[in-house]
Amino acid sequence: MRSWLLLSILPLTQAIRIIQSNDDGWAEINIRTFFDALTNAGHDVVLSGPAENQSGTSSSDAPPKTVDADGCIFNSCPGGSPPTGSNATNPRLNYVNSFPVTSIMNGIDVTAPKFFGGAKPELALTGPNVGSNIGIQVPFSGTVGAAVAAVMEAGIPAIAFSGRSGDPTAWNQPTPLYSKIYAELALKITSQIVASGTPYLPQGVFLNVNFPEVTSSECNDIDDFRFIFTRVNPGIFSEKDTEWCGTNRLPTEYDIFFRDGCFVSISAGDASDKTTVDAARQKPVADKLKSILSCL
């Protein structure tokens, strides 16, 4: 994959401090592949994810506990391990034995400053989640919950990434094609937001991004994809969206999910309630992304 190699070896023009998390577990291959892509691009990255699969835990939060006898997900830490810990060979890879929200906040407040000279992260990235998070799924997603926590509790702009393909897979297995593609796409969106300058997102806003299915015959190269600006929830009775692609009503994430083709939905979500933000805050997001966005 020429595009994958290119993104892996060429540093970004601007490297920033990034905190990563997810709800599938710190040792799941999607987040590890994305960690490598971000690091290879020159970013200063710390991963702080749950010790176990915590999918569907929304915004739950609880103090981390000692790891039970079964150990961390995919045997990535032994039973009886401390409530928090790190990879033996790379201390930037960290687990927190609790929910995604707890994991990312521990990373923001405790772990990341050790690597960032006392500073906090500048951007929070969660996922790519194993499975889509669209529409009515969004409030229940731990991947979204972690992103929203970064925005609401720490004031850090955040992007939640989810991908339709795959099953939970250990970090030490051969990297599936979809993991590579999702890491490339997530890096492209991240690069666009970073290049747009600060503030990376309007106050109280997170991005909810969903990638389509990747197969050996379709949607298997980053150049196949088109990025569509969407809304999280249907807006029949809501206020008008920002003017975009000749209309003031954006397509929903469901519209993109059920459409044939290699379409990526990007929604500007309100971190206070995980729904679509108002038009006034959609517009600066669209302006930041406009050079990569397409119209249907």
Task: In whole angstroms, give the CA distance from residue 112 to residue 19.
Answer: 7
Residue 69 has pLDDT above 70, yes or no: yes
pLDDT band, very low/low/confident/very high, at 6 (cuts 50, 70, 90): very low
Q: Residues 161-198: pLDDT tens digits?
A: 999 999 999 999 999 999 999 999 999 999 999 999 99
Q: Which domains are seen in the chain, by residue range?
A: 2-289 (3.40.1210.10)
What pLDDT, on the 0 to 100 scale, is given for residue 85? 98
Task: In whole angstroms, give the CA distance from residue 284 to residue 64.
Answer: 37
Q: Residues 205-222: pLDDT tens digits?
A: 999 999 999 999 999 999
What pLDDT, on the 0 to 100 scale, is given for residue 143? 98
Cβ atoms < 10 Å from Cβ of 56: 14
Residues with Cβ within 8 Å of residue 114, at least 6 apart in sequence: none
Bond from prior residue into 83 cis (ω within 30 degrees of 0) = no
pLDDT band, very low/low/confident/very high, at 237 (cuts 50, 70, 90): confident
Model confidence pTM above 0.75: yes
Q: Supply 243's token pair.
A: 């003017």
Q: Decide: 292 and 188 in contact? Cβ < 8 Å.
A: yes
